[in-house]
Chain A
Amino acid sequence: MTALRLPELQERLRALIADPETLAGPLSALEAKVAALPIRGDARLSSAERVRIYAAMYVARLRDALADDFPALRHALGEEAFGALAQRYVATHPSDRPSLRDLGRHLPGFLRRGEVAAVPWHAELAQLEWAMVGAFDALDQRVLAREQLGVLAPEAWPELRIVPVDSLRLLALTHAVDAVRERLLAGHDAGAITATRTLLRVWRQDLVVYVRAIPQLEMAALRWLHRGSTFADLCGWLDSVIDADQDATHVAGSLLARWVEDGLLVAA
C-alpha cells in the first residue's frame, strides 16, 4: 500500500527528476532519497536507477526541444556546451506550458543576462532564432496584394490602412547574426564576428519564414506603424523625419511597394 498521498508522491518524484544531482551525484545519495518513496526495485534495476532513467529522459527531451528551435546556436556552441546550457537554462526556467513550443522563450534573455558564459552575439543569435520560431506559426492572415493597390481610387489612398502581419518581428542587433546563422547552418564556422549595427525584419510569407536586413528608415517606419495607421499617417510621420529635399509621399510609396511585395501587410 502506498503510504504517501498522490500529491506528495508526485512532488517528490518531480523534484528528483528535475534535479541535476539525480544524474550527476553518487547513486548512494540518490538511493537514500528514493528509499522514502514506494518505488519497487528488483535485481536488474534498483528503485534509484529507475528514477535515473526518467531524469535522463527529462534532460534529453528538453535539450532536444531547444536544439530544434536554436539549431545555429547549437552549432555555434557545440554539443557539449549546448547541452550544459540547456541544463542550466531549464533549471532556471522550467517549462510551465503544455507545449514544448514555448520552452525557449526565455533563452535569449538568459544569455543576454550572462547567466552562462557566452559571447555577446550568442544572445543575438538566439534572439533571431526565437523570432523565426514565432513567425513560423503566427496567425494566418490575408495579405494586401499589389492588385488591390492597382485598383485603389486616388481619393482612397490617404485612408488606406497599413497594418503589419502578426508574424513580423523587428530586431535591432549589434552583430550580423543573420549571416552568422547561414554560415553555421551550412556547416561552416561562425568566422570572425565584429560588432556592426544590424537591423532585421523576420516575417512569414506563404508559409516560409524570411529574414532580411533593412535600412534604419524602414525599421523606424515599421516600429512607428500601429493598428489603425493610414497611408496619410505614414506620409505625415515620414515628413517629420526625412530630409527636407525628399518627398514623403514618394518614400511612403516605395516602402509600401516593398512591404506589399513581401506580403508584410494585412488586407483591410
Chain B
Amino acid sequence: MTRHPHLGFGIGLRTGHFSALLEGGTRADWLEAISENFMIPGGRPLHVLERVRRDKMLVLHGVSLSIGGSDPLDPSYLRALRALADRFAPAWVSDHLCWTRHDAHQLHDLLPLPWTEEALAHLVPRIAQVQDVLARRLVLENVSSYLAFDGDLTEWEFLAELTRRADCDVLLDVNNVYVSARNHGFDPRRYVDAIPPKRVAQIHLAGHSDHGTHLLDTHDAPVADAVWELYRYTIERLGPVSTLVEWDGDVPALEVVEAEAARARDVAAAAVQAAHTRRDGVAAA
C-alpha cells in the first residue's frame, strides 16, 4: 500500500478548460497543474489556479527540472517552484526521471537516461538538493521513451533503487510503462511488479498513438484498452492510489476528460475488490 493520501481521481488543469472550470467547477476529485505554466507574475492562469484550489486539492507537476541533466540545477527555477508550492500548498510536487536541458539549451522534451550506476550516483545528490529546497520529498515520474541506452540495470530496477538511495517517491505513469514496454519489448507487468508500493504517490493515465513501429505518448486520445488493463493490474498490486488522467492534444470538452477519470474510479474499485476477494480466498483456503 502507498503511504500517501488517496486524493481520488483527478484531471490535468488545461487552458482550454479554464472557462468551464470557472463557470461550473469540476466533478474530478483533484487537479494537477504544470508547474512552469504558473511561474508567471499574474493574469488569468494564476487566477484560475487560485479559484480551483479553493475547492479542490492540487498537485504541482513540472516538466523542466532536468533532474538527470548534467547542467547544475537551476537555482532560480527551484526558488520559483518553492514559491509556487508555498502559495498553493499542493499535496506533493512531481517532475520526471529524465533530462530536458544540456549546456543551457532547453529541449522541452523528457529525454531518457542510461540506466547505469553512473546515472544513479549523479541523481542521488541532485534529488537531495531539490528536496532540501522544496522541504518535501520529490515525486519522480517514469517517462515514455523511444530509445534506450546500453546500461547496467533495467529501467524498473533503476527506479526502485533510486527511490531507496535518494528517498524519493514515484509517480507511476501506467501509459508510459506500456508505451516504453512496446517500444523496447519488455513485459510491462515486470515493471509494475518492481516498484515499491509504499513509494507510489500517484498514477498517471493518458492516451497514446500507434505508429506501427512504435507508440508515441501523445496524450491526445482516450486511454487505450491495454493501458486500462495494466492499470487494473497495477491497482490490484498496489491498492488504491491517487490517479490522474492527462489530456494535452486535441483537448476535448471538460466532461470527456472527467468521464475518463470516472472510468478510472470504476476500474480501480473493481481492481481493489478483486484483490480483496483473492486475499480472502487465500485466507479461507
Contact = CB atoms under 8 A, between A and B. Distances in A.
A253 interface: no
Given A207-B43, A207-B44, A62 B108 contact: yes
Nearest to B22: A207
B122 interface: yes
Interface string B187-205: 0000000000000000000
B152 interface: yes
Nearest to A53: B146
B36 A6 contact: no
Given A39-B147, A53-B146, A61 B108 contact: yes
Contacts of A38: 114, 149-150
B147 A47 contact: yes
B24 interface: no
Interface in B66-110: 69-70, 74, 77, 99, 102-109
Interface in A18-65: 18, 37-40, 42, 44-45, 47, 49-51, 53-54, 57-58, 61-62, 65
Interface string B120-156: 0010000000000000000000000011111110000
A137 interface: yes
Contacts of B281: none
B246 to A, nearest CB: 16
Contacts of B43: 136-138, 140, 167, 204, 207
B37 interface: yes
A169 to B, nearest CB: 14
B114 A9 contact: yes
Nearest to B123: A6
Nearest to A42: B185
Nearest to A64: B249
B102 A98 contact: no
Interface string B233-247: 000000000000000
Contact of A94 (B105, B111, B216): B105
Given A38-B114, A54-B146, A96-B105, A1 B36 contact: no
B118 interface: yes
Given A137-B40, A139-B41, A207-B47, A95 B152 contact: no
Contacts of B109: 17, 54, 57-58, 61
Interface in A199-233: 204, 207
B243 to A, nearest CB: 26
A166 to B, nearest CB: 7
Interface residues of B, number: 44
Q: How large is the interface on A (under 10, 10 to 19, 20 to 34, 35 or more residues)?
A: 35 or more
A50 B70 contact: no
Contacts of A45: 146, 213-214
B147 A51 contact: yes
A32 B111 CA distance: 21
Interface in B139-180: 146-152
A14 interface: yes
Interface in B10-58: 36-37, 39-47
A250 interface: no
A187 interface: no
B102 A2 contact: no
B70 A10 contact: yes
B147 A54 contact: yes
A2 B118 CA distance: 9
Contacts of A51: 147
A6 B119 CA distance: 7
Contacts of B44: 136-137, 207
A89 to B, nearest CB: 14
Contacts of A2: 114, 116, 118, 149-151
Interface of B: 36-37, 39-47, 64, 69-70, 74, 77, 99, 102-109, 111, 113-114, 116, 118-119, 122, 146-152, 184-185, 213-214, 216
**What 8 pairs between A and B have smallest CB-CB spacing?**
A140-B42, A98-B64, A50-B147, A137-B43, A7-B70, A137-B40, A139-B41, A95-B106
